[in-house]
Amino acid sequence: MRVLGIETSCDETGVALYDTQAGLLADTLYSQIAMHAEYGGVVPELASRDHTRKLLPLIQETLASAGLGRDDIDGIAYTAGPGLVGALMVGAATAHGMARALNIPVLGVHHMEGHLLAPMLEEEPPAFPFIALLVSGGHTQLVEVQGLGQYRLLGESVDDAAGEAFDKAAKMLELDYPGGPAVARLAELGDPTRFRFPRPMTDRPGLDFSFSGLKTHTLITANTLRETGELDDQGRADIARAFEDAVVDTLVIKCRRALDQTGLKRLVVAGGVSANVRLRKRLEEETAKRGARAFYPRSRFCTDNGAMIAYVGAQRLLAGERDDSAMKAVPRWPLAELMPPAA
């Protein structure tokens, strides 16, 4: 079964073609980062308009890369949520229109389920069950995964997601958007011994996260250095390093607890922040200590992409799931609401 995947949840337009026998055939991605950088963050109306402008050309490009035509598609999957409602509607409308014209099934899938299963696109995918750390601009969650649609939420952020905290820290340090990569680059130049920031909610039991206090601590430190004239390039780098170390340590501690509590030996790390080099290094060390193993998607599949949507859609379409005639766009959609495919 060949499934076209469409991702338009936020600021990246992703399209991919996945074959359940041959694997990923082609994927293309257009990022709106340059457009939104002028405003220091995503502008929803501009995002929607850009998806409208780019989506159909990307579909044509993806099919051409695979050497196939529209009649070779057996099904279409699109991101139905969570995300920006206008951006979601662009993908939903395009997917439903194409599916009706081609008389093939169409299915709206969960964006975070796509991230969670993105490592399945790799040569050595993880086997079920496993623990998943979903860490992105909008979500920080620990999930126990027993199978497709069999998810138990173990912990999540009670305020800012880790990726969102990175973006806000970047603004405090007067760095360009997107904040995560900018903070990570600057942190490489920082002195790891100058500051030690708090590791939120690690001094109590549980698997929930909180990054708002860390964000406040970062702001206070930056303002203090600004008042004393010490917020120079090195001062910013030292703050970036202390902030990154605090986020990484917090995530690692919670992952360690989740593995210990469940007894599982596989850890999947997905979402935009999973590309962070320091986080990957620390998790590799921690899983090795426990005789466990960490799995990641390749770098280009850490951020939003059509391949992960095509993969999830293919698994669920094969099981007989499909939309009715109504398009689906759900800006807020808890992962825990998902169910396994009907037997």
Q: Is 137 annotated as a binding residue?
A: yes
Pairing relationship of beta strands 130-135 and 140-147 according to DSSP bridges: antiparallel
Whole-angstrom distance, CA of residue 180 vs CA of residue 176:
10
Q: Is 134 annotated as a binding residue?
A: yes
Q: Is 91 annotated as a binding residue?
A: no
Q: Is 291 annotated as a binding residue?
A: no
Of residues 198, 194, 279, the one with CA closest to residue 231: 194
Cβ distance 102 to 70 under 8 Å?
yes
Q: Is 138 annotated as a binding residue?
A: yes
From residue 91, how far is each of 24, 83, 191, 324, 325 by CA, in Å?
Answer: 20, 11, 45, 16, 15
Q: Is 51 annotated as a binding residue?
A: no
Q: Is 276 annotated as a binding residue?
A: yes
Q: Where are the beta strands (DSSP E) in 115-188?
A: 130-135, 140-147, 150-156
User: CB-based contacts of 222: which residues, under 8 Å, 6+ apart?
Assistant: 172, 173, 231, 236, 239
Q: Is 115 annotated as a binding residue?
A: yes
User: CB-based contacts of 19: which residues, under 8 Å, 6+ apart?
Assistant: 1, 2, 3, 25
User: CB-based contacts of 92: which residues, under 8 Å, 6+ apart?
Assistant: 78, 80, 108, 327, 328, 329
Helices (H), 15-84: 33-37, 44-66
Q: Is 111 annotated as a binding residue?
A: yes
Q: Is 148 annotated as a binding residue?
A: no
User: CB-based contacts of 46: which residues, under 8 Å, 6+ apart?
Assistant: 32, 35, 36
Q: Binding site for substrate, residues?
A: 134-138, 167, 180, 276
Q: Binding site, residues?
A: 111, 115, 134-138, 167, 180, 276, 304
Q: Binding site for Fe cation, residues?
A: 111, 115, 304
